[in-house]
Structure formats: C-alpha cells, structure tokens
C-alpha cells in the first residue's frame, strides 16, 4: 500500500455525531470558517490536496458536536487504490502520528499523521507533489486555507486562496539576520495567511525543482508563523525530504503542524478518532 501524505492548517467548524473522526468536506454540508487575508474563493478542484484535522469543541446536543479545526495538511503521495467521480465525504481513522524528532517551534515544524485506509481520488480529492530541491521559487505562489480575511477580523465561510509574494533565500537571511535554509519567507504587505491558516500549503508552479509535473502545483512550504515586523515564515518542505522519505513509506499519512497538535496527540490513543476534511466544491 502506497503512503498518502498531507500538509496544511485550517480553522473549520462542523456538526457530526462522531467523537473524533476523519472525513471529507462536501459543498456546504458542514459549517466552515476559513481565513486568508485578501483572498478569493477557490474553484472546484483548485486545491484538491487540502485537508483538515478536527476535534470537537462544543456539545450542541447529546447526539451532535461542533467541530473546529485542530490542524491541516496536504495529500502528498499518490494512491494505488481506485479513483472515483463521486464527491461523497470520506471518513478515515488516524492510526499513527510521527513528530519530527528535533521539533522545537519554529524549528523542524513538521509532523506526519497516518490514516488507516486510502482515500479515493477524484477531481476534487488528489495529491500534491512535495518539493525536493532547496532553491529559490517563483516570486508569486499560492496559499489556501480557512483563516481570518483581515488581521484580527471574523472568519470567512468559504475556502479561500491568495497569491503570496515569495522572497529569495538571500532576502530571507537578510530580514531575519541569520541563515534560514529550513524556511521560506514571504512578503505579507499585499496578501497573507492569517490566524487559522497554520499548517496550510504554500504551492508554486514553474519552479526549477525536477520533481515538479507540468500543470500541477508543487508543495514547497507549510504555514508556520509570522513576525509582523519581518515576514511570514513557512517550513521549507524540501529541507525535510530525507525525513519524509524515511518516515512516510509504510502507510497512508498526512503532514501536519506539530506546534498545534503535540498536546492533543498526547491524549489521542488508538481508539480515538480524528477528523480530516477534504475540500469539495460545486
């Protein structure tokens, strides 16, 4: 069985009868609260690799809970299972979590979350290829997620995407006054990620990375954090290529943001289920 992997963070609210589960989001079946500053609603199939891991936050009734996003991810490995044209919700159980052994935020801000069963790929559920070459990327890439539409504002009810201005490695080193090889820095003056987007994807195309496929996004970064006096930081995916290859080969998995999940995962045992939400649009 080929591993499936993920990487991104959203803030989403949804009702369900389950305790902790993994599923997909279809249309407006669930209540959502997205957050991208100066973003636009995504089109159908635009970011089919985007996922969300959720936990219950409010008991609406004895039978229903209000779910909010814990962290997110992106599918990063192809499935050897069947494909489908259906946009039905897909529920999966978390089977394993692997934090980077040297995680100490913001350093090594990456984790793998494994699920028990392959997802069925379709036009709206698919994987994104992770970058493997440490290089400068095109000046404009994209980010997507469920976050604040303005800094400190209320959340949006639609999954949003926005162009992100990417800085060179030299510019990143200059702004932070240190070597930043494990990070990607972006300029947040025009558009940006907001609260609730942590763990989400930074995707580019037209790169020099040999693994990029024509017409497909390349996953280059994970939303990590920001300093309003400097830049927004993304964990550089290519810097962890060896770690991903070593840790992600045995099962279906997703890459997530450990600074958001480390405490919750300490109490999540094999009998507890989490919710991962794939995004579907009509």
Listing DSSP states for 74-99 in one string gives E--S--SS-B-S--------EEEEEE
Domains observed in the chain: 13-276 (2.40.10.10)
pLDDT at 38: 53
Rounded Cα–Cα distance for residues 25 and 184 (Å): 29
- Give the CA-trace dihedral at 36, 113, 281, 126, to 10 degrees: 120
Q: What is the pLDDT along the chain (282 residues), one digit of tens a residue?
A: 444 444 433 333 333 333 333 333 322 233 323 334 456 777 888 888 887 777 777 776 766 777 766 666 788 877 655 566 666 666 777 777 788 899 887 889 888 877 778 778 888 888 889 999 999 998 888 888 765 445 554 445 567 778 888 999 999 999 888 899 999 988 765 444 544 456 788 999 899 999 999 889 999 998 887 665 557 788 999 999 999 888 765 444 556 666 554 434 433 333 334 444 444 443
- Bridging pattern class, strands 218-226 and 232-236: antiparallel
Phi, psi (degrees; rounded to nearest 5) at 264: -65, -40
Order the strands of the 50-59 sheet from edge to edge. 13-16, 65-74, 50-59, 275-276
**Closest Cα partner for 147 from 32, 1, 262?**
32
The position carrying tokens 């060896």 is: 242
pLDDT at 163: 82
Q: What is the number of other CB atoms lying within 10 angstroms of the CB of residue 177?
A: 8
Q: What is the number of other CB atoms lying within 10 angstroms of the CB of residue 235?
A: 26
Rounded Cα–Cα distance for residues 246 and 101 (Å): 13
The half-sphere exposure of 271 on its side-chain side, counting CA atoms within 13 A, is: 0
Rounded to two decimals, what is the model's pTM? 0.74
Rounded Cα–Cα distance for residues 216 and 126 (Å): 11
The distance in angstroms from the start CA to the end CA of the chain is 31
């Amino acid at each position: 069985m080929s591993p499936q992997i993920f990487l991104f963070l959203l803030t989403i609210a949804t009702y369900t009868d389950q305790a902790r589960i993994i599923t997909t989001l279809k249309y407006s079946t669930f209540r959502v609260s997205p957050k991208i500053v100066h973003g636009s609603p995504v089109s159908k199939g635009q970011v089919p690799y985007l996922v969300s891991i959720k936990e219950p936050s409010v008991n609406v009734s004895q039978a229903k809970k209000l779910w909010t996003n814990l962290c997110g991810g992106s599918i990063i490995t192809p499935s050897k299972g069947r494909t489908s044209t259906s946009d039905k919700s897909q529920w999966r159980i978390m089977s394993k979590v692997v934090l980077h052994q040297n995680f100490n935020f913001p350093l090594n801000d990456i984790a793998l979350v494994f699920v028990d069963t392959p997802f069925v790929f379709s036009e709206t559920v698919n994987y994104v290829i992770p970058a493997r070459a440490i290089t400068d990327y095109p000046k404009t890439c994209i980010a997507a997620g469920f976050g604040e539409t303005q800094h400190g504002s209320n959340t949006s009810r639609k999954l949003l995407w926005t162009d992100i201005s990417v800085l060179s490695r030299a510019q990143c080193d200059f702004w932070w006054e240190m070597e930043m090889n494990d990070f990607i820095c972006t300029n947040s003056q025009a558009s940006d990620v907001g609260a609730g987007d942590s763990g989400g994807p930074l995707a580019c195309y037209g790169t020099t990375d040999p693994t990029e496929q024509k017409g497909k996004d390349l996953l280059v970064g994970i939303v990590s954090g920001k300093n309003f006096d400097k830049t927004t930081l993304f964990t550089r995916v290519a810097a962890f290529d060896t770690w991903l290859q070593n840790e992600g080969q045995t099962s279906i998995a997703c890459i997530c943001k450990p600074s958001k999940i480390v405490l919750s995962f300490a109490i999540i045992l094999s009998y507890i289920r989490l919710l991962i939400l794939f995004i579907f649009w009509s």
